[in-house]
Chain A
């Protein structure tokens, strides 16, 4: 009864090779069908994301699943990659190390963006594909269930995946939401059509923003962007009017000079009648004169400001790593304990069957000698025998369970077999 994994991630495999080793859902199903034919009796789950390709295998038989080298060769053959070059970068592990690796992966601790939550869904999907392909079994079943449990614990008990890391998400959730309680009654102005505009607007829409106006030097692009983002295009000449009406501005132009100077802002500022203004200046060079941010009621954030907040969040996530790894270690120990305990089940069953068999034989003999006993008395005596057997079996079973936490209890199992004359 053992577990093996082989694979590579963004840490170990260059992107060119990772692209060639990646499996689509259909390709993963095909590969697993091939695995089933090639390694009957072994269970397997193939996890393939843009950052990693990993094959987890397990077997309950004595000889165990194929070794990591053989699995690496299998992966390379499935994707038509030169086995030598794949073998150089693919690594693997067995037993507790393999289990811990999967738990770290599922919890996002091995991800490119520490604690990213998408990996949980990808692990679930990998499990579903393997289940549909018929390569799962009790071992991988328990392993992946335990991995999802570990991921859930890490997510709920640490802040490893809590802090936001992308500039648009930090801009909206940590800053704009700090100023405004709601966005459905706010007017959003989009200046320019930079690449971060759409993503920022997506977060704003999720937060409830509905009234979006787009201003661009090229009217056609403004129309196009407004149509795509569900906003209203406004002529560039109306910029001053739009600045007066806006509550939140996202600016992403490619202009080399500030689009809104301090003087221009001060000219329209009285007409804003003291309404707070949030400006997310995501352009480089900046679209808004930084001195505008010093004005009362104006909250101006540049890419650098938001980038620093993202970095601080990243460091906070990193600080949560020890707590997350402690959880992973606990869950690994718990899983391995359960796994080792599973290996004792045949011995326990033999032991229990032996006791029951002897007990039943003794009961038959007793009942033959006491034919006057009624059914109620017989049932009572039978129950007493079973209770006695259960109590006698309890200490060895408890010892086996506690030994299982430290590793496979081979010594105890061997002793039990010899003491009670059990078969291998």
Chain B
């Protein structure tokens, strides 16, 4: 069993999601009685493989499990894939996968381009590191879900404004439901983003105070872009609440959610290709409290 699990690679579940996405795309052209089940089968297989892969990585790395940028992106992709599966089963006539699976594949791609080395940790700051990472993960997933709901809202509203009947196999959720999703996700993203940023500041302060790890400067690109993103998310949530009683309020919320998704994408690309001291091992050799990491992945 361990031998089998150790041979699961990123390509395995990425290919499963890719095939599922290809099946989902064919909805636009023809009907099929077996496509839905096949698609669900591939997403389930991909999710299972990804779960086993993450469990294997968590079990084989001596550092805090799943604490590298690589793992972080894979966890976000896993959560979205699980959400996509759940939504597809709950709404079989809605092409959820068409929207969510490209993001899942994008996150897997970002993971492949990111470092697999665990972030440097010390026992004293580990808990703050977990809180910081979890809030940022929640923020990202909420932004993605909100952005997708917003884009679906705009597509559905466009269809209704053009007075066209729904396309075969492309039935969107109602504007009411999509509007609810995007406004809720905007609030969750703002709360999680704010909490993630604050917990990051605490983590940094503890490190500085105790001299445990190298601290991240305020002008670090990651800190700056995350700070800007959090400010934007809070502003977007406030604007969404403020326009809720306006006739165009729902459209504004949808557009804001979509902008948030674009900003997150830009932020991820910046993180993948840019230079930063965030989450990097210290440059000096004084950090003897750092738990050494062993690469558990080939």
Chain A residues engaging chain B, CB cutoff 8 angstroms: 156-159, 162-164, 170, 174-175, 177-182, 269, 272-274, 276, 295-299, 301, 305, 308-309, 312-313, 316
Q: A179-B160, A181-B174 are in contact. Are A159 and B168 (CB under 8 A)?
A: yes
Chain A residue contacts of B168, Cβ below 8 A: 159, 162-163, 316
Instruction: Pick the 6 closest A-B CB pairs, nearest first.
Output: A297-B247, A296-B247, A296-B248, A181-B174, A181-B176, A309-B165
**Can you report 30 A-B residue pairs in the complex whose CB atoms are below 8 A from each other?**
A159-B168, A162-B168, A163-B165, A170-B165, A174-B165, A175-B160, A178-B166, A178-B174, A178-B175, A179-B174, A179-B175, A179-B176, A180-B175, A181-B173, A181-B174, A181-B177, A269-B247, A273-B245, A274-B246, A274-B247, A274-B249, A276-B176, A295-B247, A296-B246, A299-B160, A309-B163, A309-B164, A309-B165, A312-B164, A312-B165
Judge whether A276 and B165 touch: CB under 8 Å: no
Distance between A164 CB and nearest chain B CB, rounded to angstroms: 8
Interchain nearest-CB distance for B63 vs A (Å): 45
B189, CB-defined interface residue at 8 Å: no
Which residues of A have CB within 8 Å of B176? 179-182, 276
Chain A residues near B163 (CB-CB < 8 A): 175, 301, 305, 308-309
What is the interface size of chain B, counting residues whose CB is below 8 A from a CB of the partner? Answer: 26
Contact check, A156 vs B173: say whether CB atoms are below 8 A apart: no
CB distance from A302 to the nearest CB of B (A): 9
How distant is the Cα of A353 from the Cα of B160 in the complex, in angstroms? Answer: 71
Judge whether B231 is part of the interface by a CB distance below 8 angstroms. no
Whether A178 contacts B246 by the Cβ 8 Å rule is no
Flag whether B33 is at the interface (Cβ < 8 A).
Answer: yes
Q: Does B294 contact A (CB under 8 A)?
A: no
Q: Within 8 Å of chain A (Cβ to Cβ): is B244?
A: yes
CB contacts (< 8 Å) of A182 on chain B: these are 176
Instruction: Give CA–CA (A299, B175) in the complex, Å.
Output: 11
The answer to whether the Cβ of B250 comes within 8 Å of any Cβ in the partner chain is: yes
Q: Do the beta carbons of B244 and A274 come within 8 Å of each other?
A: yes
A163 to B164, CA, bound (A): 13
- Can you name the residue of chain A whose Cβ is closest to the Cβ of B159? A178
CA of A243 to CA of B32 in the docked complex: distance in angstroms?
A: 44
With A158-B31, A309-B163, A312-B165 known to touch, is A178 a contact of B172 (CB < 8 Å)?
yes
Residues of B within 8 A of A157 (CB): 31, 33
Residues 237-249 of B, flagged 1 when their CB comes within 8 A of A and 0 if not, give: 0000001111111
With contact pairs A157-B31, A175-B160, A297-B250 given, residues A180 and B174 touching in the complex (Cβ less than 8 Å):
yes
Can you add 5 more A-B contacts, CB < 8 Å, to A269-B247, A296-B248, A312-B164? A174-B166, A178-B174, A181-B177, A276-B176, A299-B160
B contact residues around A170 at 8 Å (CB): 165
Closest residue of chain B to A158 (Cβ to Cβ) is B31
A157 to B34, CA, bound (A): 10
Which of A163, A274, A316 is most buried by chain B, counting CB atoms within 10 A of its CB? Answer: A274
CB-defined contacts of B166 to chain A, threshold 8 Å: 174, 178
Contact A178 B177 (CB under 8 A): no
Judged by DSSP, the binding face of B is loop
Contacts of A312 in B (CB 8 A): 164-165
Contact in complex: A297, B248 (CB < 8 Å): yes
CA distance A201 to B131 in the complex (A): 53
Nearest A residue to B164, CB-CB: A309
Chain B residues with CB under 8 Å of chain A are: 31, 33, 156, 159-161, 163-166, 168, 172-177, 243-251
Cα A158 to Cα B30 in complex, Å, equals 9
- Report the minimal beta-carbon distance from A180 to chain B, rounded to whole angstroms: 5
CA distance A157 to B31 in the complex (A): 7
Contact pick for B160, options A164, A178, A273, A308, CB 8 Å: A178
Q: Which residues of B contact A175 (CB under 8 A)?
A: 160, 163
Cβ contacts under 8 Å, B156 to chain A: 178
Residues of B within 8 A of A276 (CB): 175-176, 250
In the bound complex, CA of A182 to CA of B161 (Å)? 20
> Within the complex, what minimum Cβ distance (angstroms) separates B75 from chain A?
31
B166 closest partner in A (C-beta):
A174
- Residue of B at shortest CB range from A319? B168
The docked-state distance in angstroms from the alpha carbon of A162 to that of B246 is 37
What is the CA–CA distance of A156 and B31 in the complex, to the nearest angstrom?
9
Q: When chains A and B are docked, how far (Å) is the Cα of A157 from the Cα of B33?
A: 6
- For A308, the closest partner residue in chain B by CB is B163
Provide the bound-state CA to CA distance between A286 and B31, in Å. Answer: 37
What's the least CB distance linking B160 to chain A, in Å? 5
Question: What residue of chain B has the Cβ atom nearest to residue A153's Cβ?
Answer: B33
Cα distance A50–B285 in the bound complex, in angstroms = 92
Residues in A whose Cβ lies below 8 Å from that of B174:
177-181
Q: With A and B bound together, what is the CA distance between A309 and B165 in angstroms?
A: 6
Contacts of B244 in A (CB 8 A): 274
Q: Please give the distance in Å from B245's CB to the nearest CB on chain A.
A: 4
**Complex formed: what's the CA distance from A156 to B160 in Å?**
27
Q: Which of B33, B175, B177, B250 contacts A156 (CB 8 A)?
A: B33
In the complex, which residues of chain B have a beta carbon less than 8 angstroms from the beta carbon of A297?
A: 247-248, 250
Residue of B nearest to A294 (CB): B161
Query: Complex: how many Å from CA A177 to CA B31?
Result: 22
Give B90 Cβ to nearest chain A Cβ, in Å: 13
Contacts of A313 in B (CB 8 A): 165
Tell me how far the C-beta of B8 lies from the nearest C-beta in chain A, rounded to whole angstroms.
36
Cα A276 to Cα B31 in complex, Å, equals: 33
- A159 in contact with B31 given A174-B165, A312-B165 (CB within 8 Å): yes
Chain B residues with CB below 8 A from A296, complex form? 246-248, 251
Inter-chain CA distance A285–B168, complex, in Å, is 32
Chain A: minimal CB distance from B231 (Å): 26
Q: Which of B161, B174, B248 has the most CB of A within 10 A?
A: B174
Bound-state CA distance A125–B172 (Å) is 37
Q: List, in ascending order, chain A residues with CB within 8 A of B247's CB.
A: 269, 272, 274, 295-298
